[in-house]
Homo-oligomer: A and B are copies of this chain.
Amino acid sequence: MYFHDKRLQYPVKVTTPDPLFARQLQQAIGGVEGEIRVCLQYFFQAWGNRSPNTKYRDMLLHTATEEIGHIEMLATAVALNLETAPLSLQESTAAANPVVNAVMGGERPRHVVEGMLHKHLLSTGLAAFPGNSDGVPFDGSHVYASGNLAADMFANVAAESTGRVLAVRLYNAAHDPGMKDMLSFLIARDTMHQQQWLAVIEELGGYGEQLPIPNSFDQNLEKKEFSYAFFGHDKDGTPPPAGRFTQGPSLDGKGQFKPLQSE
């Protein structure tokens, strides 16, 4: 069961609204690296977790609940960047509504409208929506919850890594101090979220215990001669580049890397 508090998790302020930045923020809401995805991902991982020890289920619920607040912050930021005027005016007769006229291609420079998501202009009344920065709707298939805890932890690290990459790009693109401030908070949270999922893997025994994922499959049943071999697929047999992945012990301590040429 869930509860809300009218305060945002962290303040969101916009001094100079910028509809193009509103478009860019949509990626952090409804993009594959966005907050709706991690929110639902952590929820479904929690709800599917049947371990008698509810530690990780609980942990996931805390963070999933935090993520709702991130969607809320970003949706608030999108609305602030799109318009400060009362929304109720928007569909009024044009002649009587200079503000509207401006937004829709009149006074405001036309090129601004050209760079905007038209969903913002035409479908949402200048507010956020669950889609990405090119207008593609959020897609539930990006919610990874495999029923395998270690696999899910890596999926979460990947989500928070691409998420923080995105947040940093947005930070670099931002001109408004309020937006930079909001993003400096979200970036910090992404830092932590990368850490916490990796901490779970360490807590479960690290790579040695958990790899290969899933660790419950008897490796004698796999074709072990290929389990730690890097296949080269160069047409002329040029060997693959040498690296940590072609020599030395494997990271799970269960094999030895070697190159192997496909022929």
In the complex with contacts A43-B72, A243-B199, A122-B166 CB distance below 8 A:
yes
**Which residues, 1 to 31 on A, are CB-close (under 8 Å) to B?**
1-10, 20, 23-24, 27, 30-31
Separation of A130 and B42 alpha carbons in the complex (Å) = 12
What's the least CB distance linking A116 to chain B, in Å?
A: 8
Taking a contact as CB atoms under 8 Å apart, the answer to whether B161 and A148 are in contact is yes
Task: Please give me the residue from chain B that is nearest to A75 by CB atom.
Answer: B47
User: Interface size of A by Cβ–Cβ distance < 8 Å?
Assistant: 167
Taking a contact as CB atoms under 8 Å apart, the answer to whether B94 and A199 are in contact is no
Q: Is A240 an interface residue (CB 8 A)?
A: yes
A262's contact among B3, B48, B127, B144, by CB below 8 Å, is which?
A: B3
In the complex with contacts A3-B233, A243-B199, A172-B101 CB distance below 8 A:
yes
Separation of A96 and B217 alpha carbons in the complex (Å) = 10
Provide the residues of chain B in CB contact with A122, threshold 8 Å: 24, 27, 31, 133, 166, 169-170
**Which residues, 214 to 263 on A, are CB-close (under 8 Å) to B?**
214, 216-219, 221-236, 240-241, 243-245, 250-252, 255, 257, 262
**Which residues, 57 to 85 on A, are CB-close (under 8 Å) to B?**
58-59, 61-66, 68-69, 71-72, 75-76, 79, 83
In the complex with contacts A91-B216, A162-B155, A171-B221 CB distance below 8 A:
yes
A79's contact among B47, B89, B155, by CB below 8 Å, is which?
A: B47
Taking a contact as CB atoms under 8 Å apart, the answer to whether B148 and A3 are in contact is no
Provide the residues of chain B in CB contact with A257, threshold 8 Å: 195-196, 199
Taking a contact as CB atoms under 8 Å apart, the answer to whether A137 and B141 are in contact is yes
